[in-house]
Structure 1
Amino acid sequence: MRASRLVTLLLLLQNRGRMTARQLADELEVSVRTVYRDVEALSGAGIPLYGDAGHAGGYRLVDGYRTRLTGLTADEAQAAFLAALPGTAAELGLGEALATAQLKLRAALPAELREHAGRIQERFLLDAPGWYGDADRTPHLSEVAAAVWEQRAVVLRYRRWRAPEEIERRVEPYGLVLKAGRWYLVAGGPSGIRTYRVDQIIELQRLEEQFVIPDGFGLAAYWDGCLADFRARLHTGEALVRLTPEGCRRLGVTAAGDGWTQARVPIESIDHAHGEFLRLGSDVEVMAPAELRDRITETVRTLAALYQG
């Protein structure tokens, strides 16, 4: 633990120049006395740092003492800092590790690249979850991540939408995927490789037994296959509709003119299309299928009676 703190102290001085003992103590979350001891240890190890007394004093490294990371372009340095996701790393229990890694990278960069990297962090922010919902609560995420990393089997109690609503299953966690602010576990089990929402894990027990990921399995390729299958099942039917120019614009249909445009549009299901077309109000008339037209007609009658009453 102390060795890690000494490295962090050194990197702070490389990044920021002169810092007081109090500033270092605040950054490292230790006492000023501990900072004094750490500075002594670094000096004893031959690190060329010295302290200035007085109000404007502090510790700093001898000019020119810096490790340079060669071969890194400005674009590459910017990409490295843009790719870092502090919120995601914290959820996985790696927040401190990410902060230290960024500190090390910044310390190793030449001055001009450090400026570019700093600008990236100041001006770009990734906020993955959508607007209309808080991020999922995933209390077991760090345990799942540890099992993935260590290739240890787990027994999980899981909540699902169909009966039985709660199941217990031994699985072998192959990888984690973050999609639109939601975490998914890809794992092998008695029924083959399956995908589980991490926020639906009720209880998890890590086992001592380790497993081997099957030859030929690739997390990215598996996930691409899942997405392709999802898209193939997403729109399994179609509806015949008439649209106003505004309705065409909202549905992304090319308008035939200033009047009504007839078009066939893909639908996921009757239930889903019912809600989506109601959002368009009087800018759409559903012609077919008859079941969808009847559902919307009944909803409109119910609304009319409600508001007329």
Structure 2
Amino acid sequence: MSKAKRLMELIITVNRKRRFTVKELADEFHVSTRTILRDLQELSELGVPLYSEVGPHGGYRILQERLLPPIAFTEREAAAVFFAVQALRHYSSLPFEMETSAVLNKFYSYMPEDVRGRIDQMRDRVDFITPVRQAQSPYLSVLLDAAIGQVVLLVEYATRQQRGQREIQPIGIYTREGLWYCLAYCYLRKSFRVFRCDRFESAVPSDSPPLDLHEVHLGNKEELTRLEGDSVYLYAELSQEGVEACEADPCPVPGLHVRHDGTGCLEGYVAREDLSYFASYFVGLGKHAAVLQPPELRAGIRQLLSELMAQYTEEQS
């Protein structure tokens, strides 16, 4: 085995083992302990975070931060990764903000000069337009780690109407139209809810035991459409233009169904407290949407339209 190949496999091995002795590695790679010591020294110089432990049970262990083995990219693959990360640059908050910047710098710095030139040309000709938002979401990493680790969080959450503490168990975070959202189980409402991430004013681990939600994730969140607690069933018919508008500006109602002729409908369970938002949403769709359920939403739309009529029929002074 060549030295270069041995070093690459050694990186994979120490990442997997986490704790090992020189003799163990020497036996596994069929080389002398002196050779392994030299290899470990080279790995350390390359940035692999190794820590030496002395004593009868000593050896080496790798620190918490892991390094991936070297990966060979083609020019187009490297450009694809660069622009995948570049697509996030319009967001004011990211879960891995510093790491994202580091990835871009590494890719750009280590590319040949001609490849950097091509990327510079493409950067001015390819963009991923996202609405620029001033809202900051400083707890994205906390929410994501809690979702992965099945941790209950005690959060301070503020809406336009009220501010208060509640316990939530995050399922995942996602972005839409430049804003970040967190799907979570809310212990206050005893149901799944979607929270605006920029409205979290604090988020710390709670002592409450978590629910077993390992099988619940963003990929199957539509199965959670029937909210427990104070929720209502929403159904709206859509014209072809209404379907296109809902696809361009997604509505939080989970079920968008499109028929063969291009028309469709929206249906799903929504929180009663969100009906004022949905009234504004459907007024924006105009004649291209007809809400049939619930009656409270229809009444809210009529009230909003009456207020708009009054605003535009008054005599201008």
Larger Rg: 1
TM tier, smaller: 0.3 to 0.5
TM-score norm. by structure 1 comes to 0.46
TM-score norm. by structure 2 comes to 0.45
